[in-house]
Amino acid sequence: MFSPSQWLRRALFWSGAIAVGLAAVGFAKAADQAFALFQHIVRHNSYWPFLLTPLTFALLAWLTQGALKPTRGSGIPQAIAALKLEDDAFRNSLLNLRMAIGKMGLTLAALAGGASIGREGPTVHVGAGLLYSMGRRFGFDDPAASSRFILAGSAAGLAAAFNTPLAGVVFAIEEMSGAFEHRMSGILLTAVIIAGVVSLGILGNYAYFGQFDIGLPLGRAWVAVLATGAICGLAGGLFARLIIPNEGGLRGLIGKLRKRQPVIFAAACGLALVLLSQLTETGLYGTGYDQAKSILEGHTDTVESFGLLKFCANVASYWAGIPGGIFSPALAVGAGIGANLAAFLPQANPSAVVLLGMAAYLAGVTQAPLTAAVISMELTANQQMILPIMAACLLARASSALVCRKPVYRALAETLIESREQAVAAEIREAELKLLPISDAEEAAGKAPNSGPDK
């Protein structure tokens, strides 16, 4: 028999999962509308992006300089960092309701401005924030309880965003926690199921990219597994390496430029995205969903270099420091690279190679092969490709590690944690100085006592 406290906790998980499902569905519809508005503007005048996109990037960079700084980027690193560091103030700064609302609003603004971003990472951030805030509101604010709410909210967010419940569970195990408590399994599964049911009830039983009846017979066609796993994995690792902060090299230079003039730098990134888009017929803006689906279906609307150009567009959008995820744009890059590889693999079904490219590139970026494999299978409602996709994702994970040793989300989360620890150390140091006598405090601060003018 459960205690009242246990029943309350379960009720909060259930109601929170419903809230996450509703938020994910509403966010998805709003994101489609926001990007549709941008597309309408582009159709009206193809030169408008030269003004609109850099201006939007600059505005978002300015808005995220202060209290809304935690809304930058994907949102998954924020959720991982909050899960790893049991610091109430740190968790609240990353996952409070203001951050959740700001994350959605600013991501929608970025899509309306043509940014090459996705909404799935932000949905994970929002899901973690909603459940975490609900738990705190009703007294479940001890570190262990808060961690469970964060983990369940993150998994529910991904499941509802893609309509992929199994991927939500795998994501929580592989990417978020790195471990799986036995007693947490029922709570996590329930949250994912409820969020998925909400999405299912509103949007229906759909596959994100539609259903694809394709396969890859065992034999020579499996050369495609080796090719996509190695090449897409290396490309994914390169992308991850480019967006992880570093003190030296190109990334160090980018970091210094962004820190020195964040608004101007963001505007320059927006202009770079527009210039790159001029090289294509369909553009590089938004999630890349339409282009990826078109490539999967065998259409030739996109240019042959779409994968490379979308790769650069994603880097530019992430370097700008604006809110937005990398899941959907990564799938679009993988589709483009897969289409290029299919031309050299006539023995394999082109759509099958494209699907392998999508899965392998996502696995290369995240270095989470199980999550990438399950997402790719659920997105296309395809079971025939289970073994080839898993093999390509495992190979991509190994290839990616040659370029980027640390998984991107964990590396970005560690950057957030290090920043917090440095801030806490500075606060402690400042407090210690205030407790010292004036002369000692001056000496500790590096000043000579009685440094005023001689009398």
Mean pLDDT for 275-287 is 91
pLDDT at 224: 92
Domains and CATH numbers, the chain: 7-203 (1.10.3080.10), 220-409 (1.10.3080.10)
Lowest mean pLDDT among 100-104, 140-144, 297-301, 443-447: 443-447
Angle at 257 between CA 252 and CA 258, to 5 degrees: 95
pLDDT at 216: 73
Give the best-scoring range by mean pLDDT among 24-38, 187-201, 286-300, 440-454. 24-38
Mean pLDDT for 414-422 is 89
Angle at 66 between CA 63 and CA 72, to 5 degrees: 65
pLDDT at 207: 55
Backbone torsions φ then ψ of 205, nearest 5 degrees:
-85, 95
Backbone torsions φ then ψ of 323, nearest 5 degrees:
-65, 145
* Centroid of chain to Cα 185: 24
Exposure b/e, 398-417, CB count within 10 A at least 16 = b:
bbbeebbeebbbbbbbbebb
> 94, 85 in Cβ contact below 8 A?
no
Amino acid at 335: A
pLDDT over 90 at 287, yes or no: yes
Per-chain mean pLDDT for the chain = 85
* Centroid of chain to Cα 29: 18
Name residue, tokens 């400042």: 430
> 53, 273 in Cβ contact below 8 A?
yes
CB atoms within 10 A of CB 201: 11
Helix, strand, or coil (residue 389): helix
Backbone torsions φ then ψ of 333, nearest 5 degrees:
-60, -45
Residue 332, CA distances (Å) to 117, 220, 293, 336, 360 in order: 11, 26, 8, 6, 12
pLDDT over 50 at 179, yes or no: no
Angle at 108 between CA 106 and CA 111, to 5 degrees: 110
Lowest mean pLDDT among 105-119, 313-327, 348-362, 373-387: 373-387
> 373, 363 in Cβ contact below 8 A?
yes
What is the pLDDT confidence band of residue 93, given thresholds at 50, 70 and 90?
very high
Task: Give the DSSP letter of residue 172.
Answer: I
- CA-nearest of 171, 175, 133, 137 to 155 is 171
